[in-house]
Amino acid sequence: MASGTYRRIIDLVLKAGILARSVGINNLLQPGLIKEMIIADILGHVLIHSKRDADAHAYSDPNEKYEYLSCKEGGSGQIDRMFKEPASKRAESLVRITRNAKLYLAVFYANNQTRCKTIYELDPRVAVVEAERQLNRSSNTISHVGFSISWARENGRVVYEDHP
């Protein structure tokens, strides 16, 4: 019985993989990609599935880029592998924030992480100040920069709320 359910899930993932490859997405199981698809769909953005770029762009302007952070209820969205030093690598890391027109923190339900509860829109100029603050306080050369839900609530604005 469980193996039959697993087999059905695997079959659906394999079919989804074929569909994804038809639009140029070669690794559907890339970490975070499905949630990024969900966020882009909600916000009406075009997904960028390359790991070397922002997560999405505006339909009307491919140069208007967006970065997506996600977490479950009670968590925080992170940007991984941010350099505190040397200065050149730090500046390069911060471009991952500043290249964007907006950042979005999407909060997913803890008991259903395929369903988005809330999305906060964040100004990159505000987010980069917080990232700098965290990097300055870090004792590590490479750190994760986190944006909590409470920080997003205080420093951003809600652009999507699910109504169950």
What value does the mean pLDDT take over residues 61-65?
97
**Mean predicted lDDT score pLDDT of the chain:** 95
Q: Give residue 1's pLDDT.
A: 55
Q: In DSSP terms, which residues pair with 78 in a beta bridge? A: 146
Q: Give residue 156's pLDDT.
A: 98
Show the tokens assigned to 68: 């997506």
* Range list of β-strands (E), the chain: 46-47, 56-57, 65-72, 76-83, 102-109, 112-122, 142-148, 157-161
Positive or negative torsion for Cα 157, 162, 163, 164: negative
Instruction: Quote the CA–CA distance of 145 and 37 in Å, as a whole number.
Output: 22
Q: Give residue 50's pLDDT.
A: 82
Say yes or no to pLDDT of 164 above 90. no
pLDDT tens, position by position, 111-123: 999 999 999 999 9
Check: CB of residue 97 under 8 Å from CB of residue 105.
Answer: no
Check: CB of residue 82 under 8 Å from CB of residue 135.
Answer: yes
pLDDT tens, position by position, 124-142: 999 999 999 999 999 999 9
